[in-house]
Structure formats: structure tokens, C-alpha cells
Structure 1
Amino acid sequence: MHEPYLTAPPDAPSQDDAVWIERSWDEPECFGAVFDAHYAEIHRYASRRLGPYAADDVAAETFALAFRRRRRFDLGHRSARPWLYGIATNIVSRHRRDEVRLLRAVDRLNPLAEPPRGHEDEVAAKVSAQHVKGTLARAVAALPAAQRDVLLLVALAGLSYDEVAQALDVPFGTVSSRLNRARGKLRKALGEKNPLLDEEEA
């Protein structure tokens, strides 16, 4: 049996997420428009952080929680994207050990070795293919959780500083501070170079 948020209204026109969320208070099926607009992106983010095997559960739980909490959404925001990323990040936080273990597995992965066969190695290979390799993976794994969240919301989700602040419910300055500290640690670990996250310095 499907949850009511899984099906968008037929022929739903494009509107702000806030419109659909407010409508969903009385017409739960309207939340399907938010689901359709953002599910693939949230699933991709979860997969990049925890691997494809966990992504289905994280994405499903994200939208289940968002649906149950939809009356708490600030209707002053047009997009639900940062809000959804915040929920997803909180869910990912329950899997910190899995994320660190995944990153360390990537660090150990030898690109010249035989193709990976185990579950962990398969996940590691997928992350490696997404350019999170070796020393960088080790450095990201070593970051404090709060700094890693900010870093990956910017690097993987492509959120702006303002959107990260909204997602994590922290001040803009906190986002900037955490990101600067994280980048500094990565630059140090990578010999003062960070090919993934410092495009502005390229």
C-alpha cells in the first residue's frame, strides 16, 4: 500500500513547493508534486554519502518524515530543496560509522587490483568512480561530522551557503566557518591542493 505522498496530482502544473506543501495539509496527495520534483536528487545525495544500498531507505525515510512534518515547513521559502536535504542529512547522521567505513574502504581501494566482488568493495568502487578517492576519502572521513555535513552539502548537493544554513538550521556564519575549516584540513591532507572542492582557486 502506497503512502499518500507517492503520487502527484494528475497533470499537476509547475508551482512553488510551498504551494504544494500548503495544499497537502488538506489534500495529502498534493505532496506527490514535491516528491516527484526532488526524490531523484535526494536519492543521489544519499547514495554518494552512504552507497547505493542505503540510498533507497534514506530517501524513502526522508520523504516519509517530510510528509509527516509538512505543517512545520516555512511557507516563506519557495523551494523545499534545502529542507529536504536537511532531513536527509539528519538521517545520514544515524549512519556515521557506515559513512566513515565507506570512505576508508575507498581509501584502501587499489585501482590496479582485480574488480571488487564484496558488498563493501562494490560500494567503494562506485564512490571511487565519483572522484572521491584515496587521500581525499581519508581526509573527508577524518573531518568532524558537522564539518563533513557542510562540506558535502556544498560539494555533492551543490547547495549555496544560504541553503546549507537553512538545511542545517544554523547561522550563515557557522556554515562559512565550518566549510573554511574543512577545506583547510583537506588542503593540508592533499598537499595544499583540493581538486574537488576548490574550483574557485583553480
Structure 2
Amino acid sequence: MGRDEAFRDIYREHYNAVYRYAWRRVGPDAAHDVAAEVFLIAWRRWETVPRAEPLPWLYGVGRGVVRNHQRAEHRGLMLEARLMVERDQPGRDLADRAAERNSVVNAWQSLGETDREVLALVGWEGLDIPSAAKVMRCSVAAFTARLYRAKRRLRTALDRQDRAAEDMPHQPAVPARMGLEERCV
């Protein structure tokens, strides 16, 4: 099989996964561009793409492409939450939901980039630990330790959000332990 056919096969098989990886990190507006860049890099570095398991390699490349978009995504989420509160100030339900979302965003953003990526690879991308370790270019043991530490730091950040919400006068406490589905409505 020639290079063109082999590339087409990898593209067809893995484009949706790479797109979803990008979408969860940079949103729908930039996800196609990120995915396209990942496959452009794969084309340019074809000799280094592992044919047996290309997806972890593609995620590793995607990780590098996504880095520049993450800060802009965070600013957008914070602006959206702020606008929701300003627009719907009289309605407590919307304000509460915005506060809950803000709590999760703040906890997530308080983590380091590596912690966020480790949690996202397992939680969002559904990778097993050996595949996620390939994406992060580390051993399985190192990735397992990183995952444990990242979970612990997220738990601490959420607990800190809970305590801060409880200490605010005249503000309803927003429990940070609610399910993410409930928080990010």
C-alpha cells in the first residue's frame, strides 16, 4: 500500500477521534482547524507515524497544537459565565448555574496544564493508561502516578471552591461535588 492510501486510511479511521479531542479542548469553532493541522503534521512526518497504533501519536501531536488555544478557551468560558450572570441577574436559577459552572472552571483552571491533560486523556478521550502514557510520552508507571496526583489536586481544588462558597455571606453555597452534567448546564 502506498503512502497516499495508508494516509487516507489513517485519516478516515481516526479523524473523528482527533476532531473530538480538539473539540473538547478548543471548542467547535477551532476544532476543525486543529484536526486539520494534526493531519498536516502527520503527512509531513509520515515516517514517524506508528502504523500499528497511530491514535496515541495523533493525540500527542494534537496536544501540542491545542496548547495555544487553551488560554483563549478559558477566557471565552469566563466571559460567557459573566455575561449569563449579567443578563439574567433576577433569575436565581441561571445565576446559580453560572456560579456552579464558574466553580468547575476555576477548579479546572487552577490545575497545571499537565494535570488537565492527564485527566482529559482518561476522562474525555477514554484512553486506557498505556495509550495515554504514549500520548504523554512517559512510562505507564509515571502516567499512573500523574493521574493519581491530578485527581487528588482536582479534588482539593473542588473542596476549596466548596469552602469559599460556604464562607461567602448572603451567597448560596454551590457544592463543587455535583456531577459535571449538573454543573455545566
TM-score (normalised: structure 1): 0.66
Match of 1:176 among 144, 147, 154: 144
- State the distance in 2 between where 1:46 and 1:106 align: 20
Match of 2:54 among 80, 84, 94: 80
Match of 1:185 among 153, 171, 175: 153
- State the distance in 2 between where 1:139 and 1:93 align: 19
- Secondary structure (helix, strand or coil) at the match of 1:190 reads helix
Bigger mean CA offset, 177-186 vs 101-110: 101-110
Is 1:146 equivalent to 2:114 in the alignment? Answer: yes
Match of 2:105 among 117, 134, 137: 137
Residue segments in structure 2 that go unaligned for 5+ positions in a row: 89-96, 160-175, 181-185
CA contact (8 A) 2:110 2:157 kept: no
- Change in Cα spacing, 1:177 to 1:70, as seen in structure 2 (3 Å) is same
- State the distance in 1 between where 2:27 and 2:139 align: 29
Higher-Rg member (1/2): 2
- State the distance in 1 between where 2:140 and 2:76 align: 29
Give percent identity, aligned residues only: 35
Q: Deviations over 1:115-150 (max 9, x none)?
A: xxxxxxxxxxxxx9xxx9332221111211111111
- Change in Cα spacing, 1:104 to 1:111, as seen in structure 2 (3 Å) is closer
Structure-1 residue corresponding to 2:14? 38
- Change in Cα spacing, 1:145 to 1:103, as seen in structure 2 (3 Å) is farther
- Secondary structure (helix, strand or coil) at the match of 1:170 reads coil
Q: Deviations over 1:140-199 (max 9, x none)?
A: 112111111111111111111111111121122222222222211221232384745xxx
- Change in Cα spacing, 1:27 to 1:188, as seen in structure 2 (3 Å) is closer
RMSD value, Cα: 2.6
Residue identity opposite 1:37 in structure 2: E
Residue identity opposite 1:159 in structure 2: L
- Change in Cα spacing, 1:105 to 1:157, as seen in structure 2 (3 Å) is farther
